[in-house]
Amino acid sequence: MANRPLSPHLQVYKWGPHMAASIFHRVTGDGMSFVALPVLLWWLGALASGPEAYATFTAVATSWIGYVVLVGISWAFFHHMASGIRHFILDMGAGFELKANRSGSIATFAIAFVLTAAFWAALLLL
């Protein structure tokens, strides 16, 4: 019998885009929970608290760090959405072939990038 581990471990798996897409799906879900939710609640609280509180929120949100956070949140949303659609397709039993799985994984990153760029272009140009 070959000298192999009893159960697969990280050294056994070959890293690829499918693993990155799965890991990023989890990270973006957590990121939206721990970053986007507090930002949303701060925005809603500022709306309810009056012009001064909203001006403070707007000043922070339109600073360079605010834009970095907001672009990150929007990228996380679009990546999580694209990856969720990929997982839905996998749940239906399609896309398990290695080439299709790899292509779908890479597509989640490309779709997230394109949708984020289009979203911010529409926000900033309109």
Q: How many CB atoms lie within 10 A of CB 6?
A: 5
Tokens 């986007």 sit on residue: 36
Domains and CATH numbers, the chain: 17-125 (1.20.1300.10)
Binding-site residue ranges for heme: 80
- Identify the H or E element spanning 114: helix 98-125
Element (H, E) at 79: helix 64-91
Structure tokens, 122: 């529409």
- Identity at 123, one-letter amino acid code: L
- Across the range 29-37, mean pLDDT stands at 95
Is residue 35 within 8 A of residue 72, CB to CB? The reply is: yes
> Could you give the C-alpha distances from 102 to 17, 44, 91, in angstroms and in order?
6, 40, 16
* pLDDT band, very low/low/confident/very high, at 9 (cuts 50, 70, 90): low
Q: What is the reported pLDDT for 18? A: 87
CB-CB contact of 7 with 49 (8 Å): no
Where is the binding site, in residues?
80
* Predicted TM-score (pTM) of this structure: 0.86
The residue type of 11 is Q
Burial (CB count <10 Å: 0-12, 13-18, 19+), residue 83: buried
pLDDT 10s digits, 35-91: 999 999 999 999 999 999 999 999 999 999 999 999 999 999 999 999 999 999 999
